[in-house]
Structure 1
Amino acid sequence: MARRVRVLLLTLLLVVTGSVMSSAPASAVIGGSRSTYAPWAVRMLIDGTPACTGTAISRRWIITASHCFFEQGNPVADKRISFRVGSLDMRKGATVHPVPRGRVGSAKADMMLVEVPPMKVRTARLATARVRPGRTVRQYGWGATCTGDENSCQSPVLKQSVLRVLRPDARRCEGYTVPGGSDFCMAKVSGIPAGGDSGGPVMSIAPHGAEVLLGVFDGSDREKTAGAGEISRQLAWIHSVIQGQPRRQMHRVPAR
């Protein structure tokens, strides 16, 4: 079994049981800071309960993690899903719902594109170049700010962590990256994403409005290592979906 604790498993337990116990000690976004700018950040809820984070990449499309849409291996119905958009405080902003049968999963990464009615938000620009080792990045989410019962400490306001991209063959990246895969691995600088941050944006650090979306967060060990699907390696798929090309069937992403 991979040594990381997948946010996948914690997200599913948050939705199914409403209570999650984490075995990995950590500091909370555990130990991160409060975000002051992220107009493209989206909070995903299932049955009104906070579940995951996402990113608005066009007025009609949100990208998040595929595993957020499964409970015990079964797809979550569209009618149970909603998104809060337009505010860093999830108690404010607007609510949008998925367009029926308007979600499309990647066959190569833990990513899901979800179509919604037009949103009045600033959208994220997509990275076109690969993420290089040594780069410092910023991850955003409304997820857990504590260990233990992560459901009890979901943040109502957007938080952020700072991470450093590692070489894919680094020993600590085992279980986060595979040869030829679409994920990259990151080390904690300040804060570490946790349950509820799944699907959240991993952005370049740049002046407000100049950031680009580098990745979609998909897992961490709650201590020092995290992983994300790489946007630049999924650009062809993303463009084919949002530009209205024939859609693929929703793909199941197995636990890793």
Structure 2
Amino acid sequence: MRTLILVSVALATIIVTLSMAMPPGEKIVGGQFAELHQFPYQIALFFQGRFHCGGSIIDRKWVLTAAHCVLNMNVPLPAEDMTVYAGSASLEEGGQMFKVAKAFAHENYGDSKNDIALLLLDGQFKFDDTVNKIDLFSGELKHGDTVVISGYGREGTELPASKHLKYNSMSVQDDEVCQFLMAQTGPGLICLNNEPDNGACMGDSGGPAVFQNKLVGVANFVLNECGTIYPDGYAKVVFYRDWIDGVMKQ
């Protein structure tokens, strides 16, 4: 994590911490518990047998997630130690399971920039009402648009993990804090916010943000703590569309 200094319109200085929404095992803050068939594109990524991150099915053999989910200090984690689970709303039962054949982190990932990755599976998902792909959004979001996030992360910074999938609604933000974040991380970022005590948290990394049933974002980081007044950072899928298509054609 690193510390950012943000300056408000009133010139008051506030200190926030940019934290990867990642340490293993923990859930969406606020929101509701998901039903089995509600998010067929949602996966749970396990590393060495422990829950690690979220992700989204975008093809029968491909999952989109965050780069920091497949790297440790910019060193690739062994793909053979990664397993993808889909087709369940629980970390403890049901669904389809595949090993990861290869992980592709964005080659320019670093300092919270380009935090996006693809997982190539060693098998193919069998699509049904509990497992299916999600199409990628190709338009531009507007300030105030409502998106849906989902994941298995913590329900609060200091709260224990829950094993059941949760979801919440968030609004696209284009305020001063988001403009500052984009200046630090580049244009490939979406800022999402809600009332306090709502949002992403540790363990939600790599998970989806969805608008009009299409994938618009990949969970990257939270500021300071989970569910604060500050926006959560998501990689902007449309910005990385050419990179995604290029990797999948290899």
Mapping for residues 117-196 of structure 1, pairs under 5 Å: 117-120=123-126, 121-148=131-158, 153-167=160-174, 170-173=175-178, 176-178=181-183, 180-189=186-195, 191-196=198-203
CA-CA distance at 1:71 after TM superposition: 2.6
Mapping for residues 105-120 of structure 1, pairs under 5 Å: 105-106=105-106, 107=108, 109-116=114-121, 117-120=123-126
Q: Which residue of 2 aligns with 1:252?
A: none
Question: Deviations 1:218-253 (Å, cap 9, x if unpaired)?
Answer: 1112113201111111111111222x23xxxxxxxx
Q: TM-score, normalised by structure 1?
A: 0.78
Q: TM-score, normalised by structure 2?
A: 0.80
Distance 1:178 1:164 in 2: 20
CA-CA distance at 1:51 after TM superposition: 1.2
Is 1:197 aligned with 2:207? no
Larger strand proportion, structure 1 or 2?
Answer: 2
Question: Deviations 1:124-156 (Å, cap 9, x if unpaired)?
Answer: 0100112221111111110011322x5xx2221
Distance 1:59 1:42 in 2: 13
CA distance change for structure 1 residues 181 and 128 in 2, over 3 Å: closer, same or farther? same
Distance 2:73 2:152 in 1: 23
Q: Which residue of 2 aligns with 1:219?
A: 221
Which range is displaced more, 90-99 or 52-61? 90-99
Q: Which residue of 1 aligns with 2:98?
A: 96
Q: Which residue of 2 aligns with 1:248?
A: none
Identity of aligned residues (%): 23
Is 1:58 aligned with 2:68? no
CA-CA distance at 1:174 after TM superposition: 5.4
Distance 1:45 1:6 in 2: 24
CA distance change for structure 1 residues 68 and 181 in 2, over 3 Å: closer, same or farther? same
Q: Which amino acid aligns with 2:245?
A: H
CA distance change for structure 1 residues 75 and 181 in 2, over 3 Å: closer, same or farther? same
Aligned length: 219
Query: Where has structure 1 moved over 4 Å in runs of 4 or more?
Result: none
| Residue aligned with 1:98, SS | strand
Runs of 5+ unmatched residues, structure 1: 21-27, 246-256
Q: Which residue of 1 aligns with 2:47?
A: 46
Distance 1:66 1:87 in 2: 24
Q: Which amino acid aligns with 1:187?
A: N
Distance 1:7 1:83 in 2: 24
